[in-house]
Structure 1
Amino acid sequence: MHILLTNDDGLRAPGLQILKRELAACGYRLTVVAPNGQRSAASHSMTINKALYCREETDEAGIREIAVSGTPVDCVKMAMEYFLAEDKPQLIISGINNGYNLGSDVLYSGTVSAAMEGPYYQVPALAVSMYPLEEERCAQTARLVHELVEKVVVRGRFPGILNVNVPPAGDISLDNVCVVPQTVQIYHNVVAEKRDLDGSLCYHIVGDIDMEGAPENSDVACIRSGRIAVTPLRWQQTAMAAIDDVKSCL
């Protein structure tokens, strides 16, 4: 199987490099196309008003790696439309991200948005995140990704998007996986007021995650209980249940 790897933390981010190493050991053929630097919270943005610059090289294991000056979505589009146009991958994996992508955060996540490109190209995709990103647990998570790919994508022929989040402690195995819906991710202290070096007033969007208020049987509650959250997502956003309501209003 040919897999496209990407992320929003940058080509040299430890999570991506560990995932590459572990999946290569499992025998997959890999191509890496990722941002040339940090692009967290890029959401589904694309670069349309300025040029993209790409740097291609091959790592010591012979794996093709391409750094792109744009967003995670740019990376997938460059891969599918240009670099791999004649050698399309059968799967896209975005990650392993340093930090959760839970609940409504998937709307802002560059990691998840890259995976959202999969169904557009009729390719299944995984977004994988964990916190904190420690080398050994990250390697274990990469091996779990291999198991998910074999069971869900290869055998199960799942055609869509899986969002995977791994907690800071607990067993990293299929036995500790919960398949759960996303919820609303609540933050406190979202805007921080600060002073710049010259004394100017400025603001930072930050926020403290509220892990306690999430309902049971949700991705946030799953992480809170020390289990791995797996959530199927879709990129189509039409509210089908509201179609008739809106028609009746008009």
Structure 2
Amino acid sequence: MHILLTNDDGLRAKGIQILKTEMAAYADRVTVVAPSGERSAASHSLTIHRALYCRELPQKDNVREILVSGTPVDCVKMAVEYFLAEHKPDLIISGINNGYNLGSDVLYSGTVAAAMEGPYYHIPSMAVSMARMDEERAEETARLAKDIVKKLFVDRQYQGVLNVNIPPQGEISLENAEVVPQTVQIYHNVIAEREDIDGSRCYRILGDIDMDSAPDDSDVSCIKRKHIALTPLHWRQTAFDKMTDVKNIL
């Protein structure tokens, strides 16, 4: 099995390096193509008005690593369209991300966006995120990712996108996982006003996560109950149930 790894925290980030070690011991071949620095909240952005710069690191055993100066989506496109054009991967895994990608946050997530490139190339994919980067739990999460690969992705049993979120506490195992839909992730105090060093007014987009208002059967509620949230996603956004409404109004 050939696995492509990427993320939005950068190739040197602890999460992807731990995942790389676990996958290299399992897969026949692992290719890591990741940003040269942090690209969190890059969503599906592409670099189209400036050049991309790539640097390949010395290969070790069955692992090939390449730095890309762009976004997570740039990384997947460079991998599939160029570096791996003749030997496409069987699976794309994005992560392990430092921070949740729950509910509507998947719209902004570079981690999830990279995984969402999979269906475009008919390659199954998975995004893996955890509350905060903890080395011991990250190692357990990498082992869980391997278990999911074995159960779900081997022989292309599942050919879609799977979004995986790990709670800060609770057992990290398939037995503690639930398949749940995404919900709307509510934030409070989203805009923070600040004063810059020169006295000018500036703003930060922050926000306090509301974990209490989510429906019981949702990814956010699942995490609150200390269970692992598994959410199948797709990139097609046509609102089929609204098509008749639009036709009638027109």
Per the normalisation by structure 1, the TM-score is 0.98
- Matched to 1:243, the amino acid is M
Deviation by residue 1:23-66 (Cα, 9 ceiling, x = unmatched)? 11223410000000000000000000000000111354452111
Residues of 2 paired with 1:70 and 1:196: CA distance?
28
Q: Does 1:148 align with 2:148?
A: yes
- Root-mean-square deviation (CA, aligned residues, Å) is 1.1
Name the counterpart of 1:85.
85
Residues of 1 paired with 2:156 and 2:6: CA distance?
23
Residues of 1 paired with 2:59 and 2:217: CA distance?
42
- Matched to 2:15, the amino acid is G
Q: CA, structure 1 residues 16+213, in 2 after alignment: closer, same or farther (shift >3 Å)?
A: same
> What is the deviation of 1:234?
0.2
Deviation by residue 1:132-180 (Cα, 9 ceiling, x = unmatched)? 2111110110110111111111156111100000000110000000000
Q: Report how many aligned residue pairs link the two structures.
A: 250
Is the CA contact (8 Å cut-off) linking 2:211 and 2:221 kept in structure 1?
Answer: yes
Runs (4 or more) in structure 1 with deviation over 6 Å come to none
Name the counterpart of 1:164.
164
- Matched to 2:116, the amino acid is M
Range that drifts further, 179-188 or 190-199: 190-199
Gaps of 5+ in 2: none
> What is the deviation of 1:235?
0.5
Name the counterpart of 2:199.
199
Residues of 2 paired with 1:135 and 1:213: CA distance?
30
Matches within 5 A, 1:49-198: 49-154=49-154, 157-198=157-198
SS of the residue 1:58 aligns to: coil
Residues of 2 paired with 1:63 and 1:100: CA distance?
27
Residues of 1 paired with 2:59 and 2:36: CA distance?
15
Residues of 2 paired with 1:238 and 1:170: CA distance?
37
SS of the residue 2:57 aligns to: strand
- Matched to 2:86, the amino acid is E
